[in-house]
Amino acid sequence: KAGVTQTPRYLIKTRGQQVTLSCSPISGHRSVSWYQQTPGQGLQFLFEYFSETQRNKGNFPGRFSGRQFSNSRSEMNVSTLELGDSALYLCASSLMAGVTDTQYFGPGTRLTVL
């Protein structure tokens, strides 16, 4: 079974721009969660989607948004990029609810904001 894939793997943007990251879950998995990892903050939960609905959201500003498609693929969008958005963005998929199911992580997208 193919694992979780994320595209692109690396991205360089400038302040004020917007960015869209993509995540394809393991086939059959219906839940996709997104996390931000920065050196000082560790892994922080952004949001979780299940069957095209946002189920849970972390404490991030409205510039961070996401969506999930009918095939469970998910995209995350960050608008008006700030320097502090530079981070590794990880998505994870699980069969059902992310909080009680094993999560399978993708390789991440490394975003650098200049």
Partner 1 sequence: ILNVEQSPQSLHVQEGDSTNFTCSFPSSNFYALHWYRWETAKSPEALFVMTLNGDEKKKGRISATLNTKEGYSYLYIKGSQPEDSATYLCASVISSGSARQLTFGSGTQLTVLP
Residue 110: burial class (beta carbons within 10 Å; 0-12, 13-18, 19+):
middle
To partner 1, the closest distance from the beta carbon of 16 in angstroms equals: 29
| Residues at the site binding partner 1, with contacts judged by CB under 8 A | 3-4, 33, 35, 42-45, 48, 56-58, 90, 92, 98-108
Specify the residue, 53 or 100, whose C-beta has the smaller distance to partner 1.
100
Specify the residue, 4 or 87, whose C-beta has the smaller distance to partner 1.
4
To partner 1, the closest distance from the beta carbon of 46 in angstroms equals: 9
Cis status, amide bond into 8, omega within 30 of 0 = yes
Specify the residue, 4 or 81, whose C-beta has the smaller distance to partner 1.
4
To partner 1, the closest distance from the beta carbon of 17 in angstroms equals: 27
Buried residues in 47-82 as b, exposed as e (16+ CB within 10 A): bbbbeeeeeeeeebeeebbbebeeebbbbbebeebe
